[in-house]
Structure 1
């Protein structure tokens, strides 16, 4: 008597399955964010301290140089960027948690393209980081930024683009990481210098040549500057003050238009996403 062979059929990969996988991963990221209130609060502490404590302290030093403008108004776009970037990186880092607890292996054996998992992760991280940034966006009136619908919509779009790019970068880092300690160490080493060199906390005007070069090769500069351009475009400030606080990004004396800066961020994000998909495909 021979034993019966039970056949197990695995559905073939298809575009509809990939789309569903993207939705599932995105939904999981949203649930994780909503249910983790401690994370929501902790991600807000640092930018709020920088904005209202450090911004107020520095404002007393430069009050005579920028008359009529609160220095916290200048720092506000940078603090939005900081909130979005840190939240996006932590969202990407959850891949390492999934690997440690075995959930990542379950996703990898599913009959879907691994690229769809990465795309869902990046979209989920971008949505979560943008939602976190909305909380800082709601504080605009406290630092003299008007609640104008056009400005709010512009900042939301720029926040999402920056968050998607940073999440793709984080997924790229996390693809080969085996524990959270290594990920956080590499994350701090990569993100903090980029954050400080982005112009989030100091103006880009009249910098030493070596520092100007570092800011122009820093991808985060092109994510922070459009937000600042949008904010200052809705403020009434003297021209000389605007030239100090909002000079824009220049290449060899030519100021880049905002649309080109956003295009650079999008190109970098697409490139990082492609490399992350490649790295993720090699993950065992």
Structure 2
């Protein structure tokens, strides 16, 4: 009877927004990212192959050249934290880029019309990207014994926490870039232009000590430097390395002649992640 009086239109009741409702939306987006990752074996393999090649091929080649300068240390041990960071960073950016894919195929529109806040979608996306990136990083982490890195439980937990923090910040950066992108080609071109120079300037593949002044400035200004250095500090704190090799391979990041403490570096990464998340939410509301 009520349906006849209203012309056959049936009312739809939208549940009121609440923290629990928004949290459920975050969990749904996170779960979808995990399912997408688990179902794409090609992506899983391709993201890991490049760092593995660099670690065992490039690292072995560089190690043969630097063997006389750093006795008692395998150069691949030095490169190991950098390869973890590279895997995490690239995987996080690929996860963020899936927003562009969702926009192209219309799935993003379905998420946007859902009765949830845009912030919940962005947070779920960033958390999903971070979890997927850490999962990929664990594969590299499992190879640590092959390059002289001990499987110490404290070290493993420390590296996992630092990997997650870096991955979340990078995913937020990727979502910020993807908010206005309309096709994957543009996103990946911009990603290569923005991320690859930062990776090379982060100290992932070469020590940060004894650099030319202009290169030292660039590495200091590079945000990814403060994500890579804590990983290396954690690894070297569990190694028995000669003092000379420690000073050469693990000098840390310096401001005005003073080494930046690891908690400060992690705080900078966390602050960058929070700022990028806020920017991503704002851009997503405007251009989503």
Equivalent of residue 247 in structure 2, options 217, 220, 243: 243
Tell me how far apart the structure 2 counterparts of residues 237 and 145 of structure 1 sit (CA, whole Å): 12
The alignment's TM-score, normalised by the length of structure 2, stands at 0.97
Per-residue CA deviations over 1:175-228 (Å, capped at 9, x if unaligned) read 110000000000000000000000000000000000000000100000000000
Q: Secondary structure of the equivalent of 1:281?
A: helix
The alignment's TM-score, normalised by the length of structure 1, stands at 0.98
Tell me how far apart the structure 2 counterparts of residues 169 and 79 of structure 1 sit (CA, whole Å): 20
Tell me how far apart the structure 2 counterparts of residues 153 and 43 of structure 1 sit (CA, whole Å): 22
1:72-111 equivalence runs, <5 A: 72-111=76-115
CA shift at 1:4, angstroms? Answer: 4.0
- 1:261 has 2:265 as partner: yes
CA shift at 1:5, angstroms? Answer: 3.8
1:1-284 equivalence runs, <5 A: 3-284=7-288
Per-residue CA deviations over 1:25-56 (Å, capped at 9, x if unaligned) read 00000011111111100001110111000000
Per-residue CA deviations over 1:146-191 (Å, capped at 9, x if unaligned) read 1111110100000000000000000000011000000000000000
Per-residue CA deviations over 1:69-93 (Å, capped at 9, x if unaligned) read 0000000000000000000000000
Tell me how far apart the structure 1 counterparts of residues 109 and 15 of structure 2 sit (CA, whole Å): 18
Residues 165 and 269, structure 1, Cα contact 8 Å, conserved in 2: yes
Tell me how far apart the structure 2 counterparts of residues 6 and 226 of structure 1 sit (CA, whole Å): 58
Task: Tell me how many residue pairs correspond in the alignment.
Answer: 284
Residues 14 and 112, structure 1, Cα contact 8 Å, conserved in 2: no
CA shift at 1:17, angstroms? Answer: 1.3
Tell me how far apart the structure 2 counterparts of residues 12 and 213 of structure 1 sit (CA, whole Å): 51
Tell me how far apart the structure 2 counterparts of residues 17 and 112 of structure 1 sit (CA, whole Å): 8
Report the aligned-residue RMSD: 1.0
CA shift at 1:13, angstroms? Answer: 2.1
Tell me how far apart the structure 2 counterparts of residues 14 and 107 of structure 1 sit (CA, whole Å): 17
Residues 25 and 124, structure 1, Cα contact 8 Å, conserved in 2: yes
Tell me how far apart the structure 2 counterparts of residues 80 and 115 of structure 1 sit (CA, whole Å): 29
Residues 222 and 264, structure 1, Cα contact 8 Å, conserved in 2: yes
Gaps of 5+ in 1: none
Gaps of 5+ in 2: none
CA shift at 1:265, angstroms? Answer: 0.3
